[in-house]
Structure 1
Amino acid sequence: MTRIALLGAGGKMGVRLARNLQNSPYEVAHVEVSDEGRERLKAGIGVDCVERDVALADADVVIMAVPDRLIGKIAHTFIDRVKPGTAIIMLDAAAPHAGELPERKDITYFVTHPCHPPIFNDETDPEARKDFFGGVKAKQHIVCALMQGPEEHYALCEAIARTIYKPVMRSHRCTVEHIAIMEPALSETIGATLCLALREATDEAVRRGVPRQAAVDFMLGHLNIELAIAFEQFPEGRFSDGALYAIAQARPQIFREGWLERIFDPAAVKQSVDEICNPKAA
């Protein structure tokens, strides 16, 4: 049986992972440094924690369910305590892409991240439809990258990734750089920023007298069909001539020329992950 040391098991993400690892084909040792986290884990899923060095001594796999900015720092504190051939799984590409991980040639580094449940889905269970984050009821896709280590460790770590993020549909094999491009650049720098801009625009319509619920319903309904058209989920759908005219007029007002090139420039992505891992230097 594969033995897993789950670091940060009492955190918000750690508890999610610990719950999905219950009744799985893995033996899990839960590690949490805070009393609050230990209590949360005990109350949430009824498991006790063990000391870190005890968990690491027998671990075949270490999962780091800790904040991005701490991944590199924490990894340096235990890297000499894991046995050769251990696979270390990280849940985000920031620290690996920023070069924060300690060097050790005889271990595996693996990165995986959830795509979260897609907007366009076939969920019918009311609870699944409300599982926006994923990993509880709603199906989602995931991305995975083998940063270093033997090829056979990809299948081992991907299987664990499918368990901690279940239920999983597609699992995409990527590189660490690919995942860093998708987060933060694609999903946060662009996606989250534009989502907040949409909310601000809706609030502005309300400020100008539109009833709030009408504005919200109008925006979310239009986003549904507009995203379906843009991402080719609605093949027969087309933007109207009026919409195309509005788009052409709006783009130079909203976006500066070359904005995509600037955000996706490798140096910009690297700077972003550096600042995520070292916020005081930002």
Structure 2
Amino acid sequence: MRTQTIALIGAGGKMGCRIADNLKKGTLNVHYVEISEQGVERLSERGLATTPRQEALIDADIIILAVPDAAIGDVSASVVPAMKKGAILMMLDPAAAYLGKLPERGDITYFVTHPCHPPVFNDEVTPEAKRDFFGGVAAKQAIVCALMQGPEEHYQIGEELAREMYAPVMRSHRITLEQMAMLEPAMAETIGSMVVTILGEAMEEAVKNGVPYEAAKDFMLGHINIQLGIVFEKVNPFSDACLIAIDYGRKAMIKEGWQDLYKPEKIYEQVDMMLHPDKAEGLK
């Protein structure tokens, strides 16, 4: 990657610190921007000094917004006008961009990237890598990237920086902003996280009915490992008896037409509620 000047906005936050830890290992010129006292302290503990936002933006080739999704609209409204022509604004989640919260400016680039996180099936052997569930520390992960607007050559620049931010990265997938919104929130959070919480509740229900906690946990996690292998790695088919149980459970628990969650209007609704939690009150 050619020499770039980076401004990391929100560098002292949870995601900002994870990115800062990786970027400080390289040779890039990075301005760490943080306004909260706790964030500044976390950066200081890492031996990193902060730079005022306006000073950081003056010569920044790439600005990374490591701020909460709900804040991106307001933050970008103040950042984008100060960006130099041809600079890249990088976001770590598709939500705000998907809802059209970014200011219109045709002479800069909008790039979105997100980690896939280390996969369940992997070849990690060290204790640190095995416990690196989120990635970006020791376990390898894939990433997704989208060039929302800007010249084609900026895609490679953005992807190379994303690989450094989320290192170690084993592969990168180029997708569109709309496809990224399908993956998150629709697939990974609305559906995936919901299903996993149900699995946790199912285990707790067995415990409430007298099964020892450790026995229930071992049984659940072991069977999940097999089930994931069957569905995603095609290691073996489900038994005939299990298929009957699956159908019984699906009819008892799953709403018909759940696939509508992937319709554009439903994806928009999901993202909108995540950025505006008050709109989710009507679902209760």
Shorter-chain-normalised TM-score: which range?
over 0.9
1:253 to 2:255 alignment: no
For residue 206 of structure 2, give the secondary structure of its aligned residue in structure 1: helix
Aligned to 2:114: 113
Aligned to 2:265: 267
Aligned to 2:13: 11
1:138 to 2:136 alignment: no
For residue 123 of structure 1, give the secondary structure of its aligned residue in structure 2: coil
What amino acid maps onto 1:173 in structure 2?
R
For residue 169 of structure 1, give the secondary structure of its aligned residue in structure 2: strand
Q: Which moved more, 1:180-189 or 1:270-279?
A: 270-279
What amino acid maps onto 1:82 in structure 2?
M
Contact 1:146 1:175 (8 Å CA) reproduced: yes
Aligned to 2:27: 25
Aligned to 1:52: 53
What amino acid maps onto 1:127 in structure 2?
E
Aligned to 1:101: 102
For residue 47 of structure 1, give the secondary structure of its aligned residue in structure 2: coil
Aligned to 1:243: 242
Provide the C-alpha distance between the structure 2 equivalents of 1:273 and 1:257, rounded to a whole number of angstroms: 22
Q: Which moved more, 1:17-26 or 1:161-170?
A: 17-26
Residue 23 (structure 1) shift:
2.8
For residue 147 of structure 1, give the secondary structure of its aligned residue in structure 2: strand
What amino acid maps onto 1:2 in structure 2?
Q
Residue 276 (structure 1) shift:
2.1
For residue 209 of structure 1, give the secondary structure of its aligned residue in structure 2: coil
Contact 1:9 1:31 (8 Å CA) reproduced: yes
Q: Which moved more, 1:178-187 or 1:23-32?
A: 23-32
For residue 113 of structure 1, give the secondary structure of its aligned residue in structure 2: strand
Provide the C-alpha distance between the structure 1 equivalents of 2:279 and 2:200, rounded to a whole number of angstroms: 30
Residue 279 (structure 1) shift:
2.9
Residue 259 (structure 1) shift:
1.0
Residue 199 (structure 1) shift:
0.4
1:39 to 2:41 alignment: yes
- So what's the TM-score if we normalise by structure 1? 0.97
Deviations 1:12-51 (A, max 9, x none): 11010001001313110000011110001111x1101010
Instruction: Kindly report the root-mean-square deviation, in angstroms, between the aligned alpha carbons of the 2 structures.
Output: 0.9
Deviations 1:197-237 (A, max 9, x none): 00000000011111110000000000001011011x243x1
1:2 to 2:4 alignment: yes
Aligned to 1:77: 78
Provide the C-alpha distance between the structure 2 equivalents of 1:271 and 1:248, rounded to a whole number of angstroms: 29
**Count of residues paired in the alignment:** 278
Q: Which moved more, 1:60-69 or 1:16-25?
A: 16-25
Provide the C-alpha distance between the structure 2 equivalents of 1:102 and 1:276, rounded to a whole number of angstroms: 20
Residue 54 (structure 1) shift:
0.3
Residue 255 (structure 1) shift:
0.6
Aligned to 1:190: 191
Aligned to 2:221: 220
Residue 277 (structure 1) shift:
2.4
Aligned to 2:156: 155
Segments of structure 1 that go 5 or more residues without pairing to the other structure are none
1:123 to 2:130 alignment: no
Contact 1:2 1:25 (8 Å CA) reproduced: no
Residue 281 (structure 1) shift:
4.1
Residue 193 (structure 1) shift:
0.5
- So what's the TM-score if we normalise by structure 2? 0.96
Residue 72 (structure 1) shift:
1.3
Deviations 1:100-130 (A, max 9, x none): 0000000000000000000000001111000
What amino acid maps onto 1:152 in structure 2?
E
For residue 128 of structure 1, give the secondary structure of its aligned residue in structure 2: helix
